[in-house]
Chains A and B, each alone.
Chain A
Amino acid sequence: MSTTMSFRSSLLRPLAVAALAFGLAAPALAADGHGTPKPPREEWSFAGPFGTFDQAQVQRGFQVFKEVCASCHAAHLFSFRNLAQPGGPSFSEAQAKAVAESYQVQDGPNDAGDMFDRPGRLSDRWPSPFPNEQAARASNGGAYPPDFSTLAKARTYEVGFPGFLIDIFTQYQENGVDYIHALLVGYEEPPEGFVLPEGAHYNKYFPGHAIKMPQPLTDGQVTYTDGTPETLDQYSRDVTAFMMWMAEPHLEARKRIGFQVMIFLIIFAGLLYFTKKKVWKSVGH
């Protein structure tokens, strides 16, 4: 079809925005992702009908985000107060406040008409590392580090037939986090004959393999205080779990309420079934 064709030919492919179109049966990477392996399916504490976030893991993930990712990636929908809400890192209010106060936030204008800096408050949004997209691109070799707010839900990969149907029954919704974890641990040397563009890095799981983001995490980079192994794999899992929480902060409530609703509906359906049977008992149909 000419319309779609013209869109594809005018395809401006920025480096950080991967090929991600995905629908019910929609292949995201079928055409462009030749040679891109599917990310392995990982175990996540928040997967499945009774999934919950591992509080310690999400707290460690926040530490990785704060110390590493946040220097380039914004999270403009994320507020300091979110750190203290239930169903995530669930820091105490005092801890969240301490985090907020460690940042300087621009406020104003004051009565004199001037903007001024003050320590952050719980109600403040997470400060962005760059004032605008252009500044972010200028500092990152032309690539725009995507905002973390909804990123774990904004990434996926093609599952293909019949897997996409099986996923309905197994409740697989971890496409985004599986991809992100695979990407974070997927940096390797380019294979023989692969021409890597200037300033790009080879990543096994990135569509097209040439990613502008240098490998962000390495073993021993972040110091954990709870004795958790300080490995790339662990950092990646922790920060990815944190990203899932940031993208879906009410995931725990959703699954908990969902189970209650299911119980109610199944019992209700059972009662209706037997009532219906009784009503129709005397009528052949």
Chain B
Amino acid sequence: MSGHSTFEPKHPALKWFESRLPLVGLIHSSFVAYPTPRNLNYWWTFGGILSLMLVCQIVSGVVLAMHYTPHITLAFDSVEHIMRDVSFGWLIRYIHANGASMFFIAVYIHMFRGLYYGSYKAPREVLWILGCIIYLLMMATAFMGYVLPWGQMSFWGATVITNLFSAFPVVGPTIVEWLWGGFSVDNATLNRFFSLHYLLPFMIAGVVVLHVWALHVVGQNNPTGVEPKSPKDTVPFTPYATIKDGFGMVCFLIFFAWFLFYIPNYLGHADNYIPANPLVTPAHIVPEWYYLPFYAMLRAVPDKLGGVLTMFGAIIVLFFVPWLDTSKVRSGVYRPLFKQFFWIWVAVCVGLGWLGAKPAEGGYVIAGRILTIYYFAHFLIILPLLGLFEKPKAVPASITEAVLGKNKGAAPASAGVSAPQTKG
């Protein structure tokens, strides 16, 4: 997608096709010849892993939809029918349910990586914002997917989350009724959630195409944050990135398979094996783990509307990170203070996640308030000020210099020429 393709078809049939639609050339320039920085570490394999997870979720989801019935009297039993009677239905359903969690684990690592190495900075702002949109779509998709089995937590989770919109003045109650398709979470809600749960992944796929397109226009960031300056700084995507991504994906699949085959219900709620009952409220309504930090923020604010705005604000603020970070240095590697604040912020996010699973009472609420304030302070105060006051370390002149400086005394080597003491 960057520049003209260097691909030259040899076969006459391919030549004929290529002169009419340069599809193979597009694939060639995007995934074969595409220059990728030679110093990418394994944190960069999560983009590929996420693509794999999206495909995995769509394929398993399409199969599940063949056996699932979106009706309040049949949904729970149809999911159990998949678990019991459909050939390998248990496998497909556990892939899909655990795959959602794996998708979020991968996306959080991907986002943390972007934040650490400054991948959102010019010229990658649009790339970053597209990523934030994908994340929002993922949250909506996963939320609606969790409603479909129509267990207790499905029903009550849907009730709590949709009720959040009632906090908005004037239009709130109307929005909630519109979301429900009635006056409570009921069959109409389940039906539209099923429809949207099927639709949104394809919207995600569409934004992923834009995300990859934007990536291929501006090029990948890398651990030094220094743009490639000469062909020596990059290697062709294939075989270098493909084999490394492939290895990363298979390692991730091992992690996935551990949950899938041995502890498939660990990341879910036991309550969701109880059919939904509008008359019985679970003792604790807890969202899926990937929403817990936001749930903690929601409950940290004593005012309902304030809580809702805080929760949405926590995601909205991510869209503005490219402009909130004032530092001229891109990568956190060369920013000694930023590095420390980054890890404090990661710890705050994990802490908020832990608090989100705790009951909203006593010390948990106070801790939630402190961490919520810190979360926002990180973006609104610390990031802007750090850029002004921090004294960054010397940034290498080029990627090659950074790499070869690490491998002491190595002769300057272009890609493809042997350099001693290479790291695996």
Q: Answer whether A and B are interacting partners.
A: yes
- Residues in A lying within 8 Å of B, measured CB to CB: 1-5, 7-8, 10-14, 17, 19-32, 49, 77, 82, 146, 149-151, 153-156, 161, 167-168, 171-173, 175-176, 207, 247, 249-250, 253-255, 257-259, 261-262, 265-266, 268-269, 272-273, 275-277, 279-285
B254–A3 touching, CB < 8 Å: no
Q: Which residue of B lies closest to A17 (CB)?
A: B280
Q: Among residues 267 to 292 in chain B, which have CB atoms less than 8 Å away from a CB atom of chain A?
A: 267-271, 273-274, 279-289, 292
Cα distance A49–B262 when bound, in Å? Answer: 6
Cα distance A161–B357 when bound, in Å? Answer: 12
Q: Looking at the assembled complex, report how far the CB atom of A284 sits from the nearest CB atom of chain B, in whole angstroms.
A: 4
B261–A23 touching, CB < 8 Å: no
In this assembly, does B138 line the interface, its C-beta being within 8 Å of a C-beta of chain A?
A: no
Q: Looking at the assembled complex, report how far the CB atom of A186 sits from the nearest CB atom of chain B, in whole angstroms.
A: 18
Q: Sort chain B's interface into a size bin.
A: 35 or more
Looking at B153, B287, B404, the one whose CB has the most chain A CB atoms below 10 A away is B153
Q: Looking at the assembled complex, report how far the CB atom of A208 sits from the nearest CB atom of chain B, in whole angstroms.
A: 10
Cα distance A283–B251 when bound, in Å? Answer: 23
Looking at A11, A249, A282, the one whose CB has the most chain B CB atoms below 10 A away is A282
- Complex interface: stretch among B239-247, B331-339, B372-380: B239-247
- Extra A-B contacts (6), CB below 8 Å, given A4-B160, A284-B413: A21-B286, A23-B267, A23-B289, A154-B271, A265-B250, A280-B243
Q: Which residues of A contact B269 (CB under 8 A)?
A: 21-23, 26
Q: Which residues of B contact A279 (CB under 8 A)?
A: 239-240, 243
Cα distance A269–B247 when bound, in Å? Answer: 6
Cα distance A11–B279 when bound, in Å? Answer: 9
A283–B283 touching, CB < 8 Å: no
- Complex interface: stretch among B7-15, B116-124, B358-366: B358-366
Q: For B281, give its contact among A10, A149, A156, A257 (CB under 8 Å).
A: A10
Q: Which residues of B contact A173 (CB under 8 A)?
A: 262-266
Q: Looking at the assembled complex, report how far the CB atom of B305 sits from the nearest CB atom of chain A, in whole angstroms.
A: 10
Q: Which residues of A contact B419 (CB under 8 A)?
A: 282-284
Q: Known interface pairs A262-B257, A279-B243. Does A22 touch B262 (Cβ–Cβ under 8 Å)?
A: no
A285–B403 touching, CB < 8 Å: yes
A1–B299 touching, CB < 8 Å: yes
A284–B247 touching, CB < 8 Å: no
A285–B289 touching, CB < 8 Å: no
B283–A31 touching, CB < 8 Å: yes
Q: Which residue of B lies closest to A161 (CB)?
A: B354
Q: Which residue of A lies closest to B424 (CB)?
A: A277
Q: Looking at the assembled complex, report how far the CB atom of B177 sits from the nearest CB atom of chain A, in whole angstroms.
A: 16
A269–B254 touching, CB < 8 Å: yes
Q: Known interface pairs A176-B270, A269-B251. Does A261 touch B261 (Cβ–Cβ under 8 Å)?
A: yes
A247–B357 touching, CB < 8 Å: no
In this assembly, does B190 line the interface, its C-beta being within 8 Å of a C-beta of chain A?
A: no
Q: Which residue of B lies closest to A267 (CB)?
A: B250
B422–A272 touching, CB < 8 Å: no
Q: Which residues of A contact B421 (CB under 8 A)?
A: 284
Q: Which residues of B contact A151 (CB under 8 A)?
A: 273
Q: Known interface pairs A77-B84, A285-B38, A285-B39. Does A12 touch B260 (Cβ–Cβ under 8 Å)?
A: no
Q: Known interface pairs A149-B80, A168-B266. Does A254 touch B247 (Cβ–Cβ under 8 Å)?
A: no
Cα distance A269–B244 when bound, in Å? Answer: 11
Q: Which residues of A contact B153 (CB under 8 A)?
A: 21
Q: Looking at the assembled complex, report how far the CB atom of A33 sits from the nearest CB atom of chain B, in whole angstroms.
A: 9
